[in-house]
Amino acid sequence: MMTRTLVTGAAGFIGSHLCDRLIADGHEVIAVDNFFTGSDGNIAHLTTSRRLRVVCHDVALPLRIDHIGAIYNLACPASPCHYQRDPVRTIKSNIMGALNMLDLARRTNATILQASTSEVYGDPVIHPQPESYRGNVNPIGPRACYDEGKRCAETLFFDYHRRHGTRIKVPRIFNTYGPRMSTNDGRVVSNFIVQALKGDDITIYGNGAQTRAFCYVDDTIDAFVLLMNTPVDVTGPVNIGNPHEVSVRELAECIVRMTGSHSRLVYVRLPADDPVQRCPDVSFARSILGWTPKVSLEDGLARTIDYFRKTLSVRPSRGEARPAPEPARQMSSPLLRATTPYSPPDEVPPRA
Ligand code: NAD
Ligand code: UDP
C-alpha cells in the first residue's frame, strides 16, 4: 500500500537513498532535515517529483503534520567528527528528536523506525555482536553523546511501545557506506577513497588492526523497507550489517589497490574509545526479514570509488570538516526555493 511517509535526516547519506527508494516504490515522501551534515544536492534530483516535499526543520523541536503512515527517524550526524563537533546538540537530536517523532507517530498512528546503531554495543567484549548483548559503552567519553543518545532513544522507543502501543521498528545499523557520503564526512571509507584519489596520505588511526564490517547502502535500504513492512509484533532491535569483517589496514590496502593510487599509509593517533573489534551477528535479520546483504565489499567499494571520482572532478574536497551551514544559507539554497513550503493539511493543536 502507498503511504505518506516522513523521513528525518532525508538530506543525509542514508536518508537520501531511502527517499529514492520510497519515491520509486510510489510513496509520497516528506523529507525533513536541518542540513547540519546533509546536503540539498543529495535530494535535488528528486525535487521534480511531485511526491517529495522538503521541510527544513530540527527534530529537537516538535513537528506538527497529519496523515502520516510511516516515519523513518534518521536525523542525527553519524560521523564521529561531526557528532563530536557539538555533543550537546547531538544528544538533543537523539533524545528530543526521538521524543518528538514518537509523539508524532502516536498522534498520527504511524509506524516509526528508529535508525539505531552498533554503537549501542560500545567497545564490545562479545564477538560477533548479537542483539542480546548489552554493550560496553563509556558513558562519559567523547563518543558518549552519540552512543548514549542512541541507547536512550531505543529506551524511549520501547517505552512508547509498551505504554502507548506505538508500532516501532528498531534496526541497529553497522558501518554503512556508499555514494553520497560527503567528501568531508570523516568516516573511514570516504576518507580513504578521497585520500587515495587525491594522492594524499592515507590516515590510519592507531595501528589499523581494529576491525569493522562494511555494508553497502543498497543492502541497508532493503533491510529498512523489509523491516518497516513486518507484522506489528516485530519490533527489533535487529542488527543490520554485512558480517564480512576486515581490519582498517586491510581496507586501506584494498582501496589503494582498487584506485591504483600511490598514496602512502601513515599511522596517526587513535581516537579515545575507538572500538577494537566490530562485526554483526545477522542471524536474527535473516530469520525475521529473510535478508542478507548481497553486495560484496569489492563491488560496493568499486561503486563508491566511481562516485567519488566524479564528485572530486567537479568539486575538489578541502579535506577538512565542514562547519554547520548558516540558516540564511540553507534558506537561500536553490532546492528550498524551488520547493513548495510544506503546509500540513490538518493542523493539530500543540501538545498541552
Ligand atoms: P549523515 O550525517 O549523512 O545524515 C544525517 C542527516 O541528519 C543529515 O542530513 C543531517 O543534516 C540530519 N540531521 C542531523 N541532526 C538533525 C536534526 N536535529 N534535525 C533534522 N535533521 C538533522 O549520516 P548517515 O550515515 O546518513 O546516518 C543516518 C542515520 O543512520 C543516523 O541516525 C545515524 O546515526 C544512523 N546510522 C548510520 C550508520 C552508518 O554507518 N552510516 C551506522 C549506524 C547508524
Ligand atoms: N579511521 C581511520 N582513518 C580515518 C577514519 C577512520 O583509521 O581516516 C578508523 C577509525 O579509527 C575506526 C574505523 O576507521 O577504527 C571506523 O571509523 P569510522 O569513523 O568510519 O566509524 P566508527 O568508528 O563509528 O565505526
Q: Let me know if 324 is exposed, middle or buried by CB neighbors in 10 A (0-12, 13-18, 19+).
A: middle
The percent of residues above 70 in pLDDT, for the chain, comes to 89
Active-site annotation holder among 72, 146, 160, 177: 146
- What values do phi and psi take at 15, rounded to 5? -55, -40
Q: What is the pLDDT averaged over residues 87-111?
A: 98
Assign 3 a pLDDT band (cuts: 50, 70, 90): confident
Which ligand is in closest contact with the Cα of 192? 2
pLDDT for 117 beyond 90: yes
Say what the pLDDT of residue 344 is.
Answer: 39
Closest atom of ligand 1 to 77 CA is 2
Say what the pLDDT of residue 241 is.
Answer: 98
342 given a catalytic annotation: no
pLDDT for 93 beyond 90: yes
Q: Which residue has the cell 532493503?
A: 222
Amino acid in the structure at residue 29: V
**C-alpha cell of 2?**
502507498
In the chain, the domains with their CATH numbers are 4-337 (3.40.50.720)
- What values do phi and psi take at 33, rounded to 5? -160, 150
| SS3 call for 338 | helix
pLDDT for 195 beyond 50: yes
Instruction: Give the model confidence (pLDDT) of 303-344 as tens digits.
Output: 999 999 999 984 433 433 343 333 323 333 434 433 433 333
171 CB-near residues (< 8 Å, 6+ apart): 113, 114, 115, 116, 223, 224, 227, 236, 237, 238, 239, 240
Mean pLDDT of the chain: 91
Q: What is the DSSP letter of 240?
A: E
Between 164 and 328, the higher pLDDT residue = 164
Indicate whether residue 34 lines ligand 1 (CB < 6 A).
yes
Say what the pLDDT of residue 2 is.
Answer: 72
Instruction: Give the model confidence (pLDDT) of 55-84 as tens digits.
Output: 999 999 999 999 999 999 999 999 999 999
Instruction: Give the model confidence (pLDDT) of 202-230 as tens digits.
Output: 999 999 999 999 999 999 999 999 999 99
Number of helices (H), then strands (E), belonging to the chain: the values are: 11, 15
pLDDT for 146 beyond 90: yes
DSSP result, 288-311: HH-----S-HHHHHHHHHHHHHHH
Assign 300 a pLDDT band (cuts: 50, 70, 90): very high
How close is the Cα of 84 to the center of ligand 2, in Å?
Answer: 14
Q: What is the pLDDT averaged over residues 283-304?
A: 98
**C-alpha cell of 62?**
516538535
Distance of alpha carbon 79 from alpha carbon 17, whole angstroms: 17
Say what the pLDDT of residue 1 is.
Answer: 64
| SS3 call for 160 | helix
Indicate whether residue 210 lines ligand 2 (CB < 6 A).
yes
Contact indicator for 241, 213 with CB cutoff of 8 Å: yes
Distance of alpha carbon 301 from alpha carbon 253, whole angstroms: 12
Contact indicator for 202, 265 with CB cutoff of 8 Å: yes
Instruction: Give the model confidence (pLDDT) of 264-288 as tens digits.
Output: 999 999 999 999 999 999 999 999 9
Distance of alpha carbon 91 from alpha carbon 204, whole angstroms: 28
What's the longest Cα–Cα distance across the chain? 62
Residue 130 CB coordination number (10 Å): 14
Indicate whether residue 115 lines ligand 1 (CB < 6 A).
yes
Q: What is the DSSP letter of 93?
A: H
Contact indicator for 77, 93 with CB cutoff of 8 Å: yes
Q: What is the pLDDT averaged over residues 169-194?
A: 98
How close is the Cα of 308 to the center of ligand 2, in Å?
Answer: 18
Distance of alpha carbon 280 from alpha carbon 275, whole angstroms: 13
pLDDT for 201 beyond 50: yes
Distance of alpha carbon 80 from alpha carbon 238, whole angstroms: 22
Which sign, positive or negative, has the C-alpha torsion 340, 341, 342, 343?
Answer: negative
Q: What is the DSSP letter of 119?
A: G
Q: Which residue has the cell 553519524?
A: 78
How does strand 211-213 pair with strand 245-247? antiparallel
pLDDT for 346 beyond 80: no
Distance of alpha carbon 250 from alpha carbon 192, whole angstroms: 11
Indicate whether residue 80 lines ligand 2 (CB < 6 A).
yes
